[in-house]
């Protein structure tokens, strides 16, 4: 068994003929012509419910039930980097996912000196629970404005929190309280109107300890109205609620000072009423629970899409409610829905792959999947990341595509536009040279009709040390015309092939390291099959290629872990892992 591995990437560009199953997703144009109603569902103890079906959900707009035409649960991004016991064969856009967009709004005029520490601690806990792709912003009100725009560099927000002001006055007249509240509501409303959350909701976490109620409430309670220049009306609160609906905002109002709990609750409760958000507290013991609840409830959401009606007024606001027939489940969403213009989503589709690459959200009109393997690079201090991507739809050819690797701060470290000739191959393979480290690897592609797709996967781009050697990633694939071609999944092939590279002191004439390959159902589970590895030296005395045949004909459909165990003589052994996915053959019983 001898494959052409030199150069590895040139050989891997050979065309693969593996049959794949097409995927169906609701297109952006179809989504834009429906109204999206997002909500979350919780069970006993506040546990998030993620398995509702559309038959269990009823949506009312303006008091009238509208049939649900499309229904999905959108997952948040993974918080933790991938672990060996939770390997996936690739990243794809088959399952709807969306990073959070969280805007922290801090009312500095209601924070007393010495009380900023509790807010900073809460923000630090919140950041610890965010995924690397989640975006975070900081706004101070009523007069501070935008301190940090939405960014994946969460440390910038934490740094800005260090200069948070505590400007609450010991005593405040009723007139001053009305003016301050009016200014605060106006600042928040302006912030919400500037937010664009077409595809996914935005989370607002508002830290405050007291706000005045409207003049009408004061009159209802029999008290004399407050005089002065500021006439705080109910309309100021309803305007905020409408702005929250336009931004598809999930609102959390966090009371930041326990000692002021009895002061100014009327205004705070009015805010929760118009936004539908809860009033939470940062008191001892409850602060951590508050942050935990926010993180849990924003980790995903449902989207029920309903048809438009001729009576719908574009940019108008309708009351909306969602209920479920499942016992013990509580549904939450904002009480208002803005009727967006038809085609709004489709009209904002990126025009180029670079625009598509910069978008935080994942596009699903074109199904894509991507993975990466790390090899030695010629450049000092770099590794080569061999990137493999394709569409599960074998009939689809991309008109343009770009791959890129983003670091933990969201910076594009390396990227490349694919040539039209490369895009005719299946799978498409390209190489990025970058420093070792954790990355979010992303592919963005446009089909000839303008439909867009993107997919991403988190990975660690580095070589694995084993004794005095360094080991590349383990690749699994097929033999095509004597070439090794990486494969994302396998169907009815009798065999697959495993391949890796060894780097280091590999002296001529010395016994090569012994390498054994295993197939198991889990990373640490017992081996189902064990195969010897063939170690072949290359003209480069510091590089060897290891291959094996993986008999997969008798494996049932599912995910398996392929383990390569490297045992240098007289040195500690080590291993590298890769997931092999097998799917049902056409016409076979079971899911494909």
Q: What is the DSSP letter of 556?
A: P
Domain shared by 182 and 271, yes or no: yes
Distance CA 258, CA 119 (A): 12
Specify the pLDDT at position 588. 46
Q: Does any domain span residue 138?
A: yes
Give the burial class of 492: count Cβ atoms within 10 A of its Cβ; 0-12 exposed, 13-18 middle, 19 or more buried. middle
Block residue for tokens 């006439």: 231
Strands of the 527-532 sheet, one edge to the other: 527-532, 514-520, 558-567, 574-582
Domain shared by 417 and 475, yes or no: no
Given a contact cutoff of 8 angstroms between Cβ atoms, the answer to whether 207 and 294 are in contact is no
Among 290, 309, 341, the domain boundary falls at 341
Among 446, 462, 478, the domain boundary falls at 462
DSSP one-letter string for 18-56 = ----------HHHHHTEEEEEEEEE-GGGPBP----GGG
CATH number for the domain including 268? 3.40.50.410
Q: Does any domain span residue 92?
A: no
Specify the pLDDT at position 26. 55
Q: Does any domain span residue 91?
A: no
Q: Does any domain span residue 398?
A: yes
Block residue for tokens 């109107």: 193
Domain shared by 141 and 197, yes or no: yes
Specify the pLDDT at position 118. 87
Question: Nearest-CA neighbor of 579 among 554, 565, 559, 564?
Answer: 559
Domain shared by 559 and 427, yes or no: no
Question: Nearest-CA neighbor of 147 among 135, 160, 159?
Answer: 160
End-to-end CA distance of the chain: 31
Domain shared by 158 and 185, yes or no: yes
Q: How far is C-alpha 567 from the geometric centre of its chain's CA atoms? A: 38
Specify the pLDDT at position 343. 62
Q: Does any domain span residue 497?
A: yes
Domain shared by 454 and 332, yes or no: no
Q: What is the DSSP letter of 424?
A: G
Domain shared by 138 and 247, yes or no: yes
Distances (CA, A) of 339 to 37, 248, 342, 361, 576: 10, 11, 9, 22, 52
CATH number for the domain including 525? 2.70.50.60
Domain shared by 285 and 421, yes or no: no
Q: Does any domain span residue 136?
A: yes
Distance CA 98, CA 364 (A): 11
Domain shared by 43 and 67, yes or no: yes
Among 404, 430, 462, the domain boundary falls at 462
Provide the residue range defining the domain that includes 67. Answer: 34-76+301-341
Distance CA 124, CA 122 (A): 5
Segment holding 358, helix H or strand E: helix 353-358
Specify the pLDDT at position 210. 87
Segment holding 541, helix H or strand E: none
pLDDT, averaged in runs of 10, over the chain (592 residues): 46 34 49 86 91 95 94 78 62 84 94 85 93 91 91 92 80 85 94 73 93 71 59 91 92 83 80 94 72 92 92 92 95 91 62 84 88 93 96 89 90 92 92 95 91 91 95 94 90 95 80 93 94 93 94 94 94 95 67 40
Residue partners of 460: CB distance under 8 A and separation at least 6: 81, 82, 374, 437, 438, 439
Length of the chain: 592
> What is the domain count for the chain?
4
Specify the pLDDT at position 346. 47
Domain shared by 226 and 236, yes or no: yes
CATH number for the domain including 379? 2.60.40.10
Q: Does any domain span residue 250?
A: yes
Domain shared by 293 and 305, yes or no: no
Given a contact cutoff of 8 angstroms between Cβ atoms, the answer to whether 364 and 199 are in contact is no
Residue partners of 338: CB distance under 8 A and separation at least 6: 242, 245, 246, 315, 316, 317
Domain shared by 70 and 189, yes or no: no
Distance CA 296, CA 261 (A): 25
Given a contact cutoff of 8 angstroms between Cβ atoms, the answer to whether 294 and 282 are in contact is no
Given a contact cutoff of 8 angstroms between Cβ atoms, the answer to whether 592 and 583 are in contact is yes
Q: Does any domain span residue 87?
A: no
């Amino acid at each position: 068994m001898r494959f052409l591995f030199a150069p590895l990437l040139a050989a891997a560009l050979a065309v693969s003929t593996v049959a794949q199953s097409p995927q169906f997703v609701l297109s952006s144009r179809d989504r834009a012509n429906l109204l999206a109603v997002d909500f979350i569902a919780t069970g006993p103890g506040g546990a998030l419910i993620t398995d509702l079906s559309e038959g269990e959900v009823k949506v009312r707009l303006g008091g009238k039930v509208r049939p649900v035409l499309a229904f999905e649960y959108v997952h948040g991004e993974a918080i933790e980097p991938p672990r060996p016991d939770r390997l996936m064969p690739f990243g794809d856009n088959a399952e709807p996912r969306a990073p959070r967009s969280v805007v922290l709004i801090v009312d500095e005029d209601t924070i007393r000196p010495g009380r900023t520490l509790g807010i900073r601690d809460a923000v630090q806990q919140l950041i610890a629970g965010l995924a690397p792709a989640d975006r975070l912003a900081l706004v101070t009100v009523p007069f501070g404005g935008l301190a940090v725009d939405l960014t994946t560099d969460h440390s910038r927000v934490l740094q800005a929190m260090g200069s948070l002001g505590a400007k609450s006055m010991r005593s405040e007249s009723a007139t001053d309280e009305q003016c301050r509240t009016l200014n605060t509501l106006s600042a928040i409303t302006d912030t919400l109107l500037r937010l664009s959350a077409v595809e996914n909701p935005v989370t607002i976490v508002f830290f405050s300890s007291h706000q005045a109620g409207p003049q009408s409430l004061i009159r209802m309670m029999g008290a004399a109205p407050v005089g002065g220049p500021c006439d705080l009306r109910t309309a100021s609160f309803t305007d905020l609620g409408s702005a929250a609906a336009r931004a598809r905002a999930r609102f959390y109002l966090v009371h930041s000072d326990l000692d002021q709990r009895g002061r100014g609750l009327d205004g705070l409760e009015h805010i929760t009423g118009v936004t539908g958000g809860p009033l939470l507290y940062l008191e001892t013991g409850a602060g951590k629970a508050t942050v935990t609840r926010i993180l849990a409830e924003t980790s995903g959401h449902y989207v029920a899409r309903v048809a438009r009606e001729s009576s719908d007024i574009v940019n108008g606001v309708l009351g909306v409610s969602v209920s479920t027939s499942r016992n013990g489940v509580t549904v939450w969403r904002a009480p208002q829905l803005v009727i967006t213009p038809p085609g709004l989503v489709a009209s904002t589709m990126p025009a180029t792959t670079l625009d598509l690459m910069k978008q935080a959200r994942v596009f699903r009109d074109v199904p894509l999947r991507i993975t990466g393997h790390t090899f030695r690079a010629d450049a000092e201090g770099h590794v080569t990341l061999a990137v493999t991507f394709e569409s599960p739809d074998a009939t689809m050819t991309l008109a343009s595509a770009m791959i890129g690797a983003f670091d933990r701060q969201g910076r594009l470290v390396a990227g490349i536009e694919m040539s039209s000739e490369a895009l005719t191959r299946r799978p498409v393979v390209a190489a990025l040279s970058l420093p070792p480290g954790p990355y979010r690897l992303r592919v963005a592609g446009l089909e000839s009709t303008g439909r867009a797709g993107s997919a991403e996967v988190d990975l660690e781009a580095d070589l694995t040390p084993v004794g005095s050697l360094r080991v590349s990633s383990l690749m699994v694939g097929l033999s095509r015309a004597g070439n090794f071609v990486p494969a994302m999944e396998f169907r009815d092939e009798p065999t697959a092939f495993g391949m890796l590279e060894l780097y280091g002191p590999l002296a001529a004439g010395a016994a090569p390291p012994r390498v054994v390959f295993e197939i198991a159902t889990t990373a640490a589970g017992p081996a189902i099959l064990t195969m010897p590895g063939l170690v072949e030296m290359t003209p480069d005395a510091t590089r060897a290629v290891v291959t094996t045949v993986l008999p997969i004909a008798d494996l049932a459909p599912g995910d398996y872990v392929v383990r390569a165990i490297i045992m240098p003589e007289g040195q500690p052994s080590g291993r590298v892992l890769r997931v092999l996915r097998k799917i049902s053959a056409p016409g076979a019983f079971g899911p494909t």
